[in-house]
Amino acid sequence: MERIILIACVLIPLGTSARGAPLGYDGLIGAAGGAAPAGESFMLTEAFGGTFADAEKDPYNSNDNQMCWAATAANILQWTGWGRVDDGTGAVLADADAIFDYFVDHWTDVGGMMSVGWDWWFDGTSSTQGRAGWSQVDVPGGGFHAGVDPVHLYVRFQETSNLLWAIDILLHGGYGVGAAIYRPNLSGGLYGHSLTVWGIDVLDDDYLGLWVSDSDDAKHLADPPDALRYYAVQLVAGRWHLQDYAGTDAWYLGTVEGLAMMPEPSATTVLLACAAVATVRRRRKSAS
């Protein structure tokens, strides 16, 4: 499937080699930090309807420990409408929890990326199949929208100080947004985790924080309630760091991926959102 990336409001084809490192963090995140939103929050569900989703890992299932990417993919599939399908047995996958369970039943418990899961959901194939270190399809499935042209479905920003701006644009464009976050580990590598972004907090053209749902924040509970959490952000050395996330400021945004709602919009949708956000930001700056 073709990839697209949004850079300076221009849609450009993106190859699979540009994917970030696979996301497979397994740890109890716990409650959000003590920060409170201090600006104006733009919420996806308030602007475009629907409710936020929060698929959680199961404390009694050892097959979903590294499947945070699939939980985020499932949340976004539910909200965008692409996730409501017949699973092939006559059962309808009606919400993010059911969609996540379907992923867990068909993929190995290894790290991955949201867009890899979306590929498979649409056409039944995985671009990382056979690649070491990535979750593998071990039970055939997916392929629920094989006739859909994916050219306008996915958008990605990667490893840039503009990732909060990218989230801002995607939310205003009505895209479901998944964020890949990373932090260094003791072996010199990176932990990778995923969040579903539902809102952004802005004050006088400055980005202050994000509203997210997280597959690991209540994974110790058998039937956890859906939870929307707020984290302050800070730009440090060109990277946006979440403040007091899992008790540290080390986690930073590395990749942002967006999935369009049903029916799929034209590329103009994102470009108009880009122009609208830029106009609002300029007005705020002029008024300050």
Q: Provide the pLDDT for residue 3.
A: 36
Q: Which helix (H) or strand (E) holds 142?
A: none
Model pTM? 0.85
- As a whole number, mean pLDDT of residues 215-233 equals 88
- Give the percent of the chain with pLDDT over 90: 65
Q: Provide the pLDDT for residue 202.
A: 97
pLDDT in tens, 68-100: 999 999 999 999 999 999 999 999 999 999 999
Q: Could you tell me the CATH number of the domain that includes residue 33?
A: 3.90.70.10
Question: Terminal CA-to-CA distance of the chain, rounded, Å?
Answer: 45
Residue-number span of the structural domain to which 242 is assigned: 3-287
Q: Provide the pLDDT for residue 220.
A: 78
> Is residue 117 within 8 Å of 71, Cβ to Cβ?
no
β partners of residue 106: none
Q: How confident is the model at residue 203 (pLDDT cuts 50, 70, 90)?
A: very high
Q: How many domains does the chain have?
A: 1
Of the ranges 20-34, 118-132, 267-281, which is most confident?
A: 118-132
- As a whole number, mean pLDDT of residues 141-155 equals 87
Long-range contacts of 85-93 (CB under 8 A, 24+ apart): 85/144, 87/141, 88/141
Q: Which helix (H) or strand (E) holds 254?
A: strand 252-259
- As a whole number, mean pLDDT of residues 90-111 equals 96
- Sign of CA pseudo-dihedral 40, 28, 158, 226: negative
**Opening angle at CA 209, ends 208 and 215, nearest 5:** 170
Bigger pLDDT: 277 vs 164: 164
Strand blocks (E) in the chain: 3-7, 10-14, 40-43, 85-86, 92-93, 154-158, 176-184, 190-203, 206-213, 229-236, 239-242, 252-259
β partners of residue 197: 177, 212
Give me 133's structure tokens: 């270190």
Q: Which helix (H) or strand (E) holds 113?
A: none
Task: Find tokens 């049903």 and name the residue.
Answer: 262
Q: Provide the pLDDT for residue 226.
A: 93
Give me 270's structure tokens: 């994102």
